[in-house]
Structure 1
């Protein structure tokens, strides 16, 4: 039982030809998870692991909405779900493992309440554990919500909608491997408590998988790690590199300059040891390059642990220099450049209408999202040349983290009725570009005049751990990310955390280390927020001149048809005035226009079309028709009232024309409205001077009447 609901794992019935196959059921959500490895050793110099999360629309009884009516490329949610599994299982493959390995998670049934994204990692852990693939699991994964101050494991979709926290935690029996969260300004203590709660709750899942492996698991195959001859020369090369200025080269501030000095040192050491005329010169050169990489990593980690010195000369708690420019683009609705060290992001905010919202077509209920954040990582940002086209999974993951961080401070759509698109263009990258996107995006929103509740900043934390010793690093460089043991991104306001993401490259870390990392991250976040406040302390009071305006008004829902008109004729005429009009079923009308005057004109026209009269109101009306018993007076567009002949003059008159004619203007007051919406008028200046006419009975439930048709 998990969260009061039964979770079952089954094997041996489906997909029996694969190395590891598990069917998982939780409520009416069912997944088939498979794990398979190639027999041949890959020639790649990294772990060739792929994780696929396959959503099938039949799982929710729907036909896909695409043109061919079949599932296509994975959507954003499927990619993010695959990344959760990948980040959990990847650290536990053996060092040097190079067999191509694939984990496929297929959603067979989705009940709409038990999310599949945290069940996929559990199924993957079970499939790998019972397979013949070498893997140091099992692991488990759970979600934690916070309802009424209480932690809830694997909250349902309905519960999650009310939760102040959405935390996903993966771990082993003894340690935490991966954390991802969105929160509404949670404190560090609340988050650590939630992580500890998650670790306790996942122990039952780990026991279940261990039992399954003991009873049904296959014997693991033996793999041969690629030979690493470079190890033999590391001691000698380390001594020579240190003598040649390795420490000074590593502490060079600039990325390019540091890379150039390290390359020059490496090439000099190799030139002294390899005869270019030798037959195996290329092999020897590669041999020494691999050895030098190990020397570089070892020395950098030693400097951090022993001397509190990092690759650019900072200590472990210092944030790189920051400079910021707001309103960097002349035509954008909001823009800002955020630069931290050699990481630079251009944040751009664009405001649109409700029609610009994106339709989410996955296994969840169909819905619209009125907040979009796109993270772009072009190759020039790292000084490289690569193919350009389409978003990578990394870009989607980083963009989602920034989106979760900023969404927590956005105003409601009712308060600020715009669809908001943020784009983070990474212009330079030397670590923490996703966190720079959070900062640049927040500044762009404030520059656009979006009334966010508080500024948000992000900082990436690192870790170096050896032999029981460790140091936590604030605002890590790309080199420190590659050579370190942790990438822990923390985003939040001055009051609390709005998003975090942690990936571990070692066997896991303890809650105590995480607590320390969060406290150090808070110091870094507050420093960055202070720098942001020096440029923009709060959202601008007015929207940018280039930003469109949205005007809102409320009309009687019964009058929506009048605004639309026969066949949409009326609304087309309104939009021809220079604005788009959106009408909700409850009578809320939103007018979107790049020209403020055009928007105001459309609003005035709609108000005139939908205006209703009330007893006691006075108007300067125009006589539009006379009859023997009175005159019809036009009060406003589409609404007339009748002034009886007895109410026209203190003196008795024989005909209406004795007092007024068609086209005359006069002041009138509404005396009554009957059940059919017909209006009786009087002349205010004669009120009390002549006998009142018997008023028509007012409509039950109020004095407002329908407009005459």
Structure 2
């Protein structure tokens, strides 16, 4: 029934299998990819025609994780998969970025790529498998895809590269790298990484290791395509527009060249729009149809790219007149927002990021519900890109896929320089609002976010800076550009972002628009990026050289204390009664873990101290002879019970309230009254006897005991061998004749007991230890 085609290979110690023809047969291309026990289905569908007036390539990638794949039911009210999570959004971008450049220019048919995780074994990561499945599905679908690509994850530990480590452990237990690479057989297409300050050579070696590991996967996809690929689509040639392109260049070529020599972005934009309007007006006449007008607009963009790229390759002349390796002017400020816990304004050329850092307690951690189960994240970085930052009117609201991706890139850059939770027990949120943009706003977020954390007093190991590199590639000629502008990004062939400290790289991301770049080009870009990062770090240090040693007055303070595990239940109380009372009375937040580590937080130090003393009173043992502050919690006829040390009660007997005689306890104390007491005695059962009379209730100082000691009780003497004495004139000491009965009869002599068992048999009920 099924015409199933399958290829398999041993890869990284596990079997990778690609199968088609059994599932999703109505899609243009569908591949079921299995690695270990992780299974991903990717289906590709493509529109057979182009919508009228469409002048862009509408490729959409959706990646979805099914909770059933890990044997879990989703959390929340609806108990089903809802909108895309951050991880799903990032993985969708991870798939999109390397495949998009491999479609021919001018191909505008809509394509839908849907990758779904149906089984997850907890070891083989589904994101890399989804990239492989998407590449295979596109390759066999017949659409004009110039692939295939392969993908893999690389770790780095003890000087050795590791193929496809588990993502959650790639940076733990000595691991220093989490790198994802996508590549064709001949060239690298995409790089995404998080690292613990690796050198440029270590990163370059990791990319080369990944590329070598990817080639067998590319070959396997080609083998599958040879068995199951559909007939390729015919694509219209773009060569028939040479005459129109020459005419447009003659019309506006000089105008475009002049515009791209203008430093100001707004002035340059006005000059370019005037040139474009001239073309539109020329082709608006009746002698040209709608298709000709659309083609003219596309060719205008092509001419712009040719002019900019040619000037850079031939003369080394950039749009704003800088040298190829020159960074734009930088101005950095900190403490710009008075109520934020930390803030900065980082400006590089016409790109600007206003960043703020907020410190919170454990309850502010982000809860993440994923295939691995519930996890918690203490560091968050959120990036916003409002339309006014580029002087446009546009959508404003929830973060886009691009915003999510840029924020995660900056998060990776800063994550590995943060102090451990034990060193700095705060939840950290960095917010980056891009207020101006002309290239590399994500790297401005790295720089501004780092400064804002330092301003907030986060003791990061070393400052981090970031830079975006560009590339112009024509045949064998290329030029690497430092700190690219927005137009250089749009018209160039590469967007290569590198961030790190003076000690090494913390993140690296590369996207290209050509069919791959060589190791030589990547090495040149890394070398040039290092010089740029060093320069930017120097400019950042002019604003703030090191993290502040004091937190903002508006930030919560967190004090940590360790208690014995056996005391945890005493601090929490039945149903949480005690800890809720501590929080309600003191105003401080209290968190306690299973190891007995307690974190007390508040922006008011007096609240922290009150909660700390309360908890210390609960877990500490009372000490005889020591004076404590207490509160009367109950009054009885013979005295008052006083709560002291937070969770302990003791009795102040009425005789210990004053040196003189006290008739009633209520004459001296009332419920809720604050008193000072001295511990007189703790009996073996833990009951505490307290005294107020020997303590000055104003100062808390101990007073001399002026009351005379009690007279010792007189000796009662020998009360006789038989305390019961005579009874009714008889001798109670003997067990002889019991006397007459009340009715006048004779009771007779008392029966003598013998050693025979009682009726019913069995031994005496007296315990053995009492029989002696």
Q: Would you call these one fold, judging by a TM-score over 0.5?
A: yes
- Of 610, 626, 629 in structure 1, the residue corresponding to residue 619 of structure 2 is 610
TM-fit CA distance, 1:157: 4.5
2:93 aligned with 1:83, yes or no? yes
Partner of residue 407, structure 1? 415
CA-to-partner distance for each residue in 1:324-364, whole Å, 9 max, x for gaps?
12111111111101111111111111111111111111212
Partner of residue 350, structure 1? 358
The answer (yes or no) to whether the contact 1:382–1:429 under 8 Å persists in 2 is yes
Partner of residue 235, structure 1? 246
Taking the aligned partners of 1:221 and 1:283, their CA distance within structure 2 comes to: 21
The structure-2 alpha-carbon separation of the partners of 1:269 and 1:223, relative to structure 1 and needing over 3 Å to count, comes to: closer
Taking the aligned partners of 1:545 and 1:638, their CA distance within structure 2 comes to: 31
- Of 24, 27, 50 in structure 2, the residue corresponding to residue 15 of structure 1 is 24
CA-to-partner distance for each residue in 1:106-164, whole Å, 9 max, x for gaps?
10001111110111111111111122222111110000001221100001356424321
2:580 aligned with 1:568, yes or no? no
Taking the aligned partners of 2:85 and 2:587, their CA distance within structure 1 comes to: 36
Partner of residue 596, structure 2? 587
CA-to-partner distance for each residue in 1:170-213, whole Å, 9 max, x for gaps?
10111000000000001100000000001111111111111111
- Of 211, 220, 227 in structure 2, the residue corresponding to residue 208 of structure 1 is 220
TM-fit CA distance, 1:287: 5.6
Partner of residue 172, structure 1? 184
Taking the aligned partners of 1:595 and 1:143, their CA distance within structure 2 comes to: 47
Taking the aligned partners of 2:510 and 2:203, their CA distance within structure 1 comes to: 13
The structure-2 alpha-carbon separation of the partners of 1:460 and 1:135, relative to structure 1 and needing over 3 Å to count, comes to: same
The answer (yes or no) to whether the contact 1:619–1:635 under 8 Å persists in 2 is no
The structure-2 alpha-carbon separation of the partners of 1:425 and 1:25, relative to structure 1 and needing over 3 Å to count, comes to: same
Give 3-state SS (helix, strand or coil) of 1:97's partner: coil
- Of 46, 50, 53 in structure 1, the residue corresponding to residue 60 of structure 2 is 50
Partner of residue 69, structure 1? 79
Give 3-state SS (helix, strand or coil) of 2:524's partner: helix
2:610 aligned with 1:598, yes or no? no
Taking the aligned partners of 1:231 and 1:425, their CA distance within structure 2 comes to: 44
Taking the aligned partners of 1:656 and 1:232, their CA distance within structure 2 comes to: 111
The answer (yes or no) to whether the contact 1:485–1:504 under 8 Å persists in 2 is yes
The structure-2 alpha-carbon separation of the partners of 1:155 and 1:512, relative to structure 1 and needing over 3 Å to count, comes to: same
2:492 aligned with 1:484, yes or no? yes
CA-to-partner distance for each residue in 1:503-554, whole Å, 9 max, x for gaps?
0100000111111101100111111111000001111110011111111111
Structure of larger gyration radius: 2
2:337 aligned with 1:325, yes or no? no
TM-fit CA distance, 1:279: 6.1
Partner of residue 466, structure 2? 458
Taking the aligned partners of 2:188 and 2:443, their CA distance within structure 1 comes to: 22
Taking the aligned partners of 2:541 and 2:197, their CA distance within structure 1 comes to: 19
- Of 501, 506, 512 in structure 1, the residue corresponding to residue 509 of structure 2 is 501
The answer (yes or no) to whether the contact 1:406–1:438 under 8 Å persists in 2 is yes
Partner of residue 759, structure 2? none
The answer (yes or no) to whether the contact 1:230–1:288 under 8 Å persists in 2 is no
What is the TM-score of this pair, normalised by structure 1?
Answer: 0.86
What is the TM-score of this pair, normalised by structure 2?
Answer: 0.79
The aligned runs of 1:431-442 (5 Å cut-off) are 431-442=439-450
Gaps of 5+ in 1: 625-631, 643-654, 682-709
2:141 aligned with 1:131, yes or no? yes
The structure-2 alpha-carbon separation of the partners of 1:256 and 1:356, relative to structure 1 and needing over 3 Å to count, comes to: same
Give 3-state SS (helix, strand or coil) of 2:626's partner: strand
Gaps of 5+ in 2: 1-9, 633-640, 663-667, 669-674, 691-772
- Of 32, 38, 48 in structure 2, the residue corresponding to residue 29 of structure 1 is 38
The structure-2 alpha-carbon separation of the partners of 1:666 and 1:578, relative to structure 1 and needing over 3 Å to count, comes to: closer
The structure-2 alpha-carbon separation of the partners of 1:47 and 1:269, relative to structure 1 and needing over 3 Å to count, comes to: closer
TM-fit CA distance, 1:667: 9.0
Partner of residue 737, structure 2? none
The answer (yes or no) to whether the contact 1:187–1:497 under 8 Å persists in 2 is yes
Give 3-state SS (helix, strand or coil) of 2:48's partner: strand
The answer (yes or no) to whether the contact 1:430–1:478 under 8 Å persists in 2 is yes
Taking the aligned partners of 1:92 and 1:255, their CA distance within structure 2 comes to: 31
Give 3-state SS (helix, strand or coil) of 1:350's partner: strand
Taking the aligned partners of 2:399 and 2:264, their CA distance within structure 1 comes to: 29
Mean Cα displacement is larger for which, 592-601 or 228-237? 228-237
Partner of residue 117, structure 1? 127
Give 3-state SS (helix, strand or coil) of 2:196's partner: strand
The answer (yes or no) to whether the contact 1:112–1:365 under 8 Å persists in 2 is no
Aligned-pair Cα RMSD in Å:
3.3
Taking the aligned partners of 1:275 and 1:358, their CA distance within structure 2 comes to: 55
Partner of residue 619, structure 1? 626
Partner of residue 314, structure 2? 306
The answer (yes or no) to whether the contact 1:3–1:155 under 8 Å persists in 2 is no
The answer (yes or no) to whether the contact 1:55–1:74 under 8 Å persists in 2 is no
Taking the aligned partners of 1:126 and 1:237, their CA distance within structure 2 comes to: 40
- Of 144, 154, 161 in structure 2, the residue corresponding to residue 144 of structure 1 is 154
2:432 aligned with 1:424, yes or no? yes
CA-to-partner distance for each residue in 1:68-103, whole Å, 9 max, x for gaps?
211111101011111111112111112211111111
- Of 360, 376, 385 in structure 2, the residue corresponding to residue 377 of structure 1 is 385
Taking the aligned partners of 1:125 and 1:345, their CA distance within structure 2 comes to: 36
Taking the aligned partners of 2:410 and 2:308, their CA distance within structure 1 comes to: 30
TM-fit CA distance, 1:5: 1.0
Partner of residue 545, structure 1? 553
Taking the aligned partners of 1:288 and 1:216, their CA distance within structure 2 comes to: 39
Partner of residue 224, structure 1? 236
2:166 aligned with 1:156, yes or no? yes
TM-fit CA distance, 1:66: 2.8
Taking the aligned partners of 2:480 and 2:229, their CA distance within structure 1 comes to: 38
